[in-house]
């Protein structure tokens, strides 16, 4: 903190015993202040004591705005809210899981006419038609966007989702259908959709085109990473060309549940040095110990390499999917960190603060 002082000093005149007023500037290192009120102080200069009336002004350094490592310039949030949603139309809706998969997942594309300016990694809200048991309109549900900002058609006029149809049996033996997921999976082309948002900044892509981007997904948690990967490998941008490493770990129960597999295969063929892909199919694969191959089990096979990457300041980890995946991944990292005498809990906090550890689980 910088401080400047000017003082009016009462100094003895050589021709009189009275005091004359002179304004002088005194070097701070030659001044000793006695503890007296701020406005009137005694000052010792060269062994002599003088009365001083001083005014101190301080210049407080301006706060330096934090510069994000993510592509957050001009990001729009909450342009459309529940009371005034955007009305889009379903352009495409197709099932993308096999017939024998444990559950259906659908890929759908909605028109936006460019009115929802989202970024890769953001989400939108959907308000399903109809009313709840109390006769009130259904509340919105949030879904991670499954397309790049340009959209599946490349014209910035659409937004895509991948949605798993929720159907389960409750404690009473009754079959329960998720309101919004079934509404979306049943949509026909031309149907209207009430959309809110976009929302979220947690999962925005890193700015650095040379970054290492590690993506951890289970099931429909693949959504934001499809957007990432389309921008990295399928699109051309004047201000962005990815030259780093994109490493995707995708966990699913069966091979018939692997969604967007053909797209990922094309990306791998197009950029073999920049894209790595590892599947974890829990009901069909096991590790050397005979354990089911969950996403954390697959990651454990690359534990040392992953830990080395995590110690670099241009490695970004993104996690999206079922909440249960987070604990398994923490367990792996804890054991790796302990080898280096590091607390994983503390190190993860540092990564989060540096925007290098990003989680969106449900």
Q: Is 282 labelled as part of a ligand binding site? A: yes
Residue 104 contacts residue 177 (beta carbons within 8 Å): no
144 is in an annotated binding site: yes
111 is catalytic: no
Helix (H) or strand (E) holding 130: none
Active site (annotated) includes residue 320: yes
Is 180 catalytic? The answer is no
Annotated binding residue 150: no
Which 3 state secondary structure label does DSSP give 236? Answer: coil
Is 81 within any annotated ligand binding site? Answer: no
- Residue 313 and residue 223: Cα distance in Å, rounded? 25
Cβ pair 116, 124 in contact under 8 A: yes
The answer to whether 220 is a known ligand-binding residue is: yes
273 is catalytic: no
| 353 marked as part of a ligand binding site | no
Instruction: Please give the full DSSP string across 161-201, using - where no structure is assigned.
Output: EEEE--EEE-TTS-EEE-HHHHHHHT--TT-EEEEEEEE-S
Q: Which residues on neighbouring strands pair with residue 176, listed in sequence order?
A: 168
Neighbouring C-beta atoms of residue 9, cutoff 10 Å: 18
Q: Which of 111, 144, 160, 181 is catalytic?
A: 144
- The catalytic position among 123, 260, 320, 347 is 320
* Catalytic position from the list 162, 260, 347, 360: 360
- Which residues have C-beta within 8 Å of that of residue 328, sequence separation ≥ 6? 294, 295, 296, 297
Euclidean distance between CA atoms 177 and 134, whole angstroms: 17
The yes-or-no answer on residue 335 being catalytic is no
253 appears as a binding residue in the annotation: yes
Q: Is 200 exposed, middle or buried (0-12, 13-18, 19+ CB in 10 A)?
A: buried
Please indicate if the annotation marks 76 as binding a ligand: no
- Is 283 annotated in a binding site? The answer is yes
Annotated catalytic residue within 118, 143, 294, 347? 143
Instruction: Give catalytic residues, as residue numbers.
Output: 143-144, 320, 360, 362
Enumerate the known binding-site residues. 144, 164, 220, 252-253, 282-283, 292, 321-322, 360
Give binding residues for NADP(+) as ranges: 144, 164, 220, 252-253, 282-283, 292, 321-322, 360
């Amino acid at each position: 903190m910088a401080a400047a002082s000017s003082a009016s000093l009462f100094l003895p005149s050589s021709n009189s015993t009275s005091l004359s007023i002179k304004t002088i500037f005194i070097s701070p290192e030659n001044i000793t202040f006695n503890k007296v009120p701020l406005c009137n102080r005694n000052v010792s200069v060269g062994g002599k004591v003088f009365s001083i009336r001083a005014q101190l002004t301080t210049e407080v350094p301006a706060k330096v705005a934090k510069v994000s490592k993510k592509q957050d310039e001009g990001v729009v949030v909450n342009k459309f809210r529940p009371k005034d949603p955007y009305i889009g139309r379903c352009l495409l809706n197709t099932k993308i899981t096999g017939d024998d998969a444990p559950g259906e997942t659908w890929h759908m594309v909605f028109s936006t006419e460019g009115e929802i300016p989202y970024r890769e990694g953001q989400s939108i809200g959907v308000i399903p038609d109809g009313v709840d048991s109390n006769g009130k309109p259904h509340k919105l549900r949030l879904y991670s966007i499954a397309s790049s900002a340009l959209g599946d058609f490349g014209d910035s006029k659409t937004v895509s989702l991948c949605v798993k149809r929720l159907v389960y049996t409750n404690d009473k033996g009754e079959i329960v259908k998720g309101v919004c997921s079934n509404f979306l999976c049943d949509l026909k082309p031309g149907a209207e959709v009430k959309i809110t948002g976009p929302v979220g900044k947690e999962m925005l892509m890193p700015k650095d085109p040379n970054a290492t981007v590690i993506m951890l997904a289970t099931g429909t948690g693949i959504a934001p990473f499809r957007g990432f990967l389309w921008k990295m490998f399928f699109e051309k941008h004047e201000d962005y060309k990815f030259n780093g490493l994109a490493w995707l770990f995708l966990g699913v129960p069966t091979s018939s549940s692997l969604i967007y597999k053909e797209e990922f295969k094309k990306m791998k063929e197009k950029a073999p040095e920049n894209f790595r892909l590892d599947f974890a199919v829990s009901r069909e694969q096991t590790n050397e110990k005979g354990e089911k191959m969950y996403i954390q089990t697959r990651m454990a096979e690359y534990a040392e390499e992953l830990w080395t990457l995590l110690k670099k300041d241009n490695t970004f980890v993104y996690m999206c999917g079922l909440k249960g995946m987070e604990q398994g991944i923490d367990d792996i990292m804890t054991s790796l960190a302990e080898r280096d005498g590091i607390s994983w809990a503390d190190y993860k906090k540092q990564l989060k603060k540096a925007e290098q550890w990003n989680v969106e689980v449900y």
